[in-house]
Structures are given as C-alpha cells and as structure tokens.
Amino acid sequence: MPDSQPGILICDELDPAAMAVFHRRGLEPEVRTGLDEEALIAIAPAYEAMIVRSATRITRPVLEAAGALRVVGRAGIGVDNIDCDAATERGVVVMNTPLGNATTTAELAIALMLSLARHIPRADRAVRSGKWSKKGLLGSEITGKTLGVIGLGRIGKIVSERARGLGMKVVAFDPYLDRSTSGPSAGGVELLELDELLECSDFITLHVPRTKATERLISWERLAKVKRGARLINAARGGIVDEEAVLDALVDGRLAGAAFDVFEQEPPAKNHPLLQREDVIFTPHLGASSQEAQLRVAIDMAEQISDFLLEGVARNAVNAPTLPADSLGEFAPFLLLAEKMGSFLAQRMGGPIRKIELTVGGEIGRLGVEHLRLALLVGILRHIMEAGVNFVNAPSLAKERGILVLENVEEEADFRHGEITVRAIERAGAETHVVSGTVFGREPRITRIDEVYLDLPPRGPLLLTRHEDRPGVLGKIGTLLGEKGVNIRRLELGPPGKADDLAYGFLTLYEEAPEEVIAAIAEMETIREVQLILL
C-alpha cells in the first residue's frame, strides 16, 4: 500500500460494485459526475486516476492541467471521448474494458434478427392499438437459414456461435482472416468474399468498426447483390450502412426488413424516412445496455485501476504497454509515433497487410523493440477491427489475421534519439509502402513516406496526392478545399519519382475534407491519386 491515498475521480455513474472493489483494495475514490471541461480543469491537479464512461470528455486541456494524472480508465470499449494522443504524449495510460460489452452487443444482434424474422415489434404495436389479426405478420423460421456475419472479431464470433446454436448456417466476411481457416477450425464458419456472402445470406449482420475502409460498406452497389428477401441488422456503428440505399432496397423488395441500433446521426432526425417504415426496427444504441454488461465493466475497471495504482500493472492499456512510469515518460512519444505509423500504413495499403518489417535504430532500440512492435500493431489493427484492440491482445489478433512481423535493430541512426522505419507488404509481389519517423523534443515526426523525405507531424487529417508536376496544381486543390471551408494546416511536397514522374503532395488539414471535395480533386486532369488518411 502507498503511504498516502492516490486521488481517484469517478466522473460518470458506475455500478455500485465498483466502489466495493475499491474499498476492498483500500482505496477511496471521489464521485463527481456531470462536470464540464472547465470544472474538470479546475480540479484535475488533485487526481492520479480518472474513470469515465461515455458522458465525460477527457480533453487535451484537461490532461495538461492534470499534472499528477497517471491513468484514465474508460468503463467500456470505445475511448473516443478521451484524447489518447495527448495522454500518450504526457505518459498517461489510457485503459478500457474490452470484454465487458461483447456478449451483450452480440445478443442484441441476435434479438434484432429474431424480431425481424417474426415481426415482433409490428405485432406488439398492432395488439396495443386494438387489432387482433395475423394479416401481414407471416414470419420466417431462422432454422436452416444462412446468416452472413460481416466482421469476425470478438463480437462477430459470439454472434456466429449463438446463430449456429439456433440451427443456422453461418458464413462470414473478414478480409484480414485467411480463408484457409474456414470450416471446423473456425468454429464451423465458412469465410467468403463480401459479394459472395451478400448473394447467399438470408440475414446479414455487421460487426466492423467505422473507418475509411468501412464507411458506406453496405452501399447501393452492394445492396444490388443481396439475395432478394434478405434482412439486414446493424448493431455496430452508424455510417457503415448507406441508409438511403437501404430505403431504396426496402421499397423495391430487395430487402425484406432491416434493424438499426445505430445511425450515422444519433439521434436520427424525426423526419428520417426509415422511421416511417413498418419493416424497419429501431433501438437507441442499446448494444452495451444490459445489467450484466454494466456490472462487468464497472468491476473490471475498478480492478484495473487498483492494480495500476497499487501494483504498477496496466491491463488493457489502449495506448501503452506495461512499463515503469519513468521509462514510459521517456518512451511515450516513440510509442505514439509507432502507432501513428501503423495507422498510416493500414489506411495507405490497398489490401490486407501480410508482412511488416520493423527496423529500430539508435538509442530508442535499447528501451525495447517489443513495445514499439506492439504500438505498431495496435495502430494497424484499430483500422481493420471492431473496438477492443490493445497492447495485450494485439499480438494474438495479428497472428490470427496472418500478419507476420520481422524486427531488426541497428545501433546507428540519422537522429540522435533514434529512428523507426516500417515496411508494409500486402502479399508477395504486391503493394508495398515504407514510412520512417523520429521524435523532435517530445513531438513525433514522420520523416519519410516511400521515396519522399519530409518533416511531417502525424496529427489530423492528411490529404495525400500523386500528381503531374505542373504549375497551379496545388493552387487548384487549395481552392477546392477553401470553397468548402477546409483550411490547410501544413504542406509538404515530394519531387517526381523516377518510376512515373509523378510528384507527391502531403496536405495536413485542420478538419476532415468532405467526400465531394475529395471526389472533385480526384477528377482534376493532373491528379493520378488522392487519399484522405486520418492520423
């Protein structure tokens, strides 16, 4: 036990079981809910640990004010309400509870599927309105039907297990899993390409994160391939389904029904056209809302915070491996750099990454290449999986997805504190990209992208272009961005390459550019490639 009590602030409501855990471990947290940023800044210096759910935001100003803060805990999976970059820069560990919500979310998807199959919400409304009639309520058995699971992560696997227990055939799409693992070794789930899954599935359920690769994953074009009469369930993230396209598919009978626990805009507008349809079921983002889930995440977080403060063990850290506090402070900027490099490569590659070559040079190599490898894998995996990737499970998740990591340590480096270089390879003879970086002061910098050497802070949306090296190209790009109110934070240029004589542009933006601007840039005569990468 420490000589003095560490200050612990619980910012959002937790199940009372959490307090019982803290008391058993000899700790006395303070509960102060409903605090805004200004109020948090005023009291932040007094605490070594903060615990939040989804209501409270731990922003950069809060972290800068919290000089003694060592750990922020999120009782749940998603950490969108915590500025993880700012926390990492200051050596503050951010941890979540990745296991607590998986079963509850999976069971909601099954419940929505059964409700669609038997028209349960419509039948309930009919009886409540005084109607006692089966007309229009002819249902469908699920036994013997095919369930298509898009995304075979933790939640997708639980859905698959439950569905097979109900007598369904389960097929799945996950581009980061090897199709040779289909069948009994994959729990009886057959892996297919996405279009194949859509063509054969009676029910389709989504369990992927929202990333650039998954936005509008279920689009007009994809819905045209769906087996007529199929039913669609989205209990993952809003925005991965094109809601307008779903409306059209329902109108023409391509889809027999749909169920949404999440929307692109939450709550949806009152005049949203899907809300007017009887063949669509809605729930208000209930994925994690069960007594058991809330109890689990509260207990898990209380145990994790206690272990960290009393024993120095960081379990389920999303931004740092288990390191002593003094080493973490020195190492943190390089961990953030490695994660950003992984994030860049996951978005830059045209297909699944199969091999990573990690080279660490200079002083930083003596602090442990394995930690940089973990940070790199976390950055990659968070762009291809549902939420829940951390420094503990990243190696097993990468192995499961066939990502091979090769390491090399060099004593010399071009920069005093050290340098990281990563080469990502899609498959033998296919797409390859290289990125290098270092840390100046405590700020990560990308110093090389493919054959271009530059000085690029990896923060914010990055617009990458390859274009003909002519006057006026960047001016027109700036005009298109400016017309939509998108400001350029920083501009880096690369000379024409030897292979194709195309120049590079790297434009760091203050905010994400709308899709129509990206499309307009892509249509410019001089543009050969344009990509928006979120760092």
In Å, how far are 8, 297, 305, 324 from 27, measured between CA atoms?
Answer: 8, 18, 10, 21
List residues bridging with 269 in a β-sheet. Answer: none
- Residues 357 and 376: their CA atoms lie apart, in Å, by 11
Of 38, 128, 266, 411, which one is the catalytic site residue? 266
Report whether 349 contacts 431 (CB < 8 A): yes
Give alpha helix (H) positions in 261-406.
Answer: 291-311, 325-348, 369-381, 394-400
- Residues 108 and 85: their CA atoms lie apart, in Å, by 32
Of 74, 237, 254, 373, which one is the catalytic site residue? 237
- Residues 290 and 105: their CA atoms lie apart, in Å, by 9
- Residues 170 and 183: their CA atoms lie apart, in Å, by 10
Report whether 507 contacts 477 (CB < 8 A): yes
For 432, the token pair is 């390859």
Exposure b/e, 304-328, CB count within 10 A at least 16 = b: bbbebbeeeebbbbbbbbbbeeeeb
- Residues 38 and 43: their CA atoms lie apart, in Å, by 9
- Per the annotation, the verdict on 426 as an active-site residue is no
- Per the annotation, the verdict on 207 as an active-site residue is no
- Torsion over CA: 74, 77, 80, 85 (sign): positive
Report whether 14 contacts 55 (CB < 8 A): no
Contacts of 384 (CB under 8 A, 6+ apart): 175, 176, 209, 211, 213, 346, 352, 401
Of 285, 417, 442, 489, which one is the catalytic site residue? 285
- Catalytic residue set: 237, 266, 285
